[in-house]
Amino acid sequence: MTTLAAPYRPLAGMFWMFTAGLSFVVMTALVKSLGPSMDPIQAAFLRFVFGLVFLLPALRLVLTTHLTRRHLVLFGTRGIVHALAVMLWFFSMTQIPLAEVTAMNYMTPVYVTLGAALFLGEKLAFRRIAAICVALIGVLIILRPGFREISPGHLTMLGTALALGGSYLIAKTLVRDLPPSVVVAHMSIWVTIALIPFAIAVWTRPSLHDLGVLFLVASFATAGHYFMTIALKAAPVAVTQPVTFLQLIWATLLGALVFHERVDIWVVAGGSLILSAVSFIAWREAVLNRSSLTTPSIAPKL
């Protein structure tokens, strides 16, 4: 018997990645719209509580999948790491403009590339090292240390991207043994559990409006991940990756038109440089067909 390969549909892949990016930007804008009305940690917890609703279709598979002690340790570790990333990201949203959050989130695949070399034994070729250096220059262009004040939001966004990279690497280890849907479902469950004590510490009674906004956040996050999955099935990351640049454009426009944030050309330039570096890495791996390597993929995985 022969297995038919999935059809190669680059235009469809680019369209679904465009839709995914739009969903993620709307999600980010909705979080931004909460403003100071709710503590970021409580908002993060409620977002994941609502997100559990979308796991119901996979519940049977989750319950019937055999897990070893090693799997449980990895799931628990990932839950703590990802919970940290989520809390830092929600805090960053209250501190810095949408465009800067989006641009600095592009660093996640760079951290993943470095982590795969350090912890998973993947080869770090010269081209990857050069691309990483270019991405770091992009970060310096965004932050411009010495030329403007670096706020706590910038530091927490760097921490967000680093923690998300760690979460991705643990997920890469888990999917070697388990179905991706089980890994995603357990991530949501364990992150929700990890956020409980932090949410209790800052808990205030949420308004119906805030609850409605957070349910929409969970909905758009789920839709974004679903569309991204469809995109990656239709075309390789090397094709769909450049489309994610549009996230920065939408975030810049939304920030300016809805939240009256100043358009910072340095943020756009730095974000473009980071994305170009990540896209180059993805393209090189596609050319070399090194499927065993961790190909970077941009998405705020929140």
Q: Which of 39-48, 58-67, 291-300 has the highest mean pLDDT?
A: 39-48
Q: CA 284, CA 147: separation in Å to the nearest integer?
A: 35
The share of the chain scoring above pLDDT 70, in percent, equals: 90
**Average pLDDT of the residues in 283-297:** 60
238 pLDDT tier (thresholds 50, 70, 90): low
What is the CB neighbour count within 10 angstroms for residue 43?
25
Report pLDDT for 147. 78
Report pLDDT for 128. 81
The number of CA neighbours under 13 Å toward the Cβ of 138 is 27
Report pLDDT for 8. 67
Range name among 6-15, 124-133, 136-145 with the lowest pLDDT average: 6-15
Cβ-contact 67, 6 below 8 angstroms: no
Task: Answer whether residue 292 shows pLDDT above 60.
Answer: no
Cβ-contact 103, 268 below 8 angstroms: yes
Q: CA 221, CA 302: separation in Å to the nearest integer?
A: 7
**Average pLDDT of the residues in 104-116:** 84
- All structural domains of the chain with their residue ranges: 17-288
Q: Which residue has the tokens 């949501």?
A: 188
Mean pLDDT, the chain, rounded, equals 85
The set of residues, in sequence order, having a beta carbon less than 8 Å from that of 33 and lying 6+ positions away, is 213, 258
Range name among 81-85, 88-92, 127-131, 292-296 with the lowest pLDDT average: 292-296
Report pLDDT for 4. 45
Each residue's pLDDT tens digit, 132-169? 899 889 999 998 887 788 899 999 999 999 999 898 88
Q: CA 136, CA 13: separation in Å to the nearest integer?
A: 28
Each residue's pLDDT tens digit, 80-103? 999 999 999 999 988 999 999 989
Each residue's pLDDT tens digit, 20-56? 889 988 998 999 998 888 999 999 999 999 989 888 8
- DSSP assignment string, 23-54: HHHHHHHHHHHHGGGS-HHHHHHHHHHHHGGG
Structure token digits, residue 201: 């510490």
Each residue's pLDDT tens digit, 162-205? 999 898 889 888 888 888 888 888 989 999 999 999 999 999 99
Q: CA 242, CA 238: separation in Å to the nearest integer?
A: 8
289 pLDDT tier (thresholds 50, 70, 90): low
Report pLDDT for 72. 95
**SS3 assignment, position 148:** strand
Report pLDDT for 48. 92
- DSSP assignment string, 232-285: HHHS-HHHHGGGGHHHHHHHHHHHHHTS-----HHHHHHHHHHHHHHHHHHHHH
Q: CA 256, CA 298: separation in Å to the nearest integer?
A: 23
**Average pLDDT of the residues in 253-261:** 90
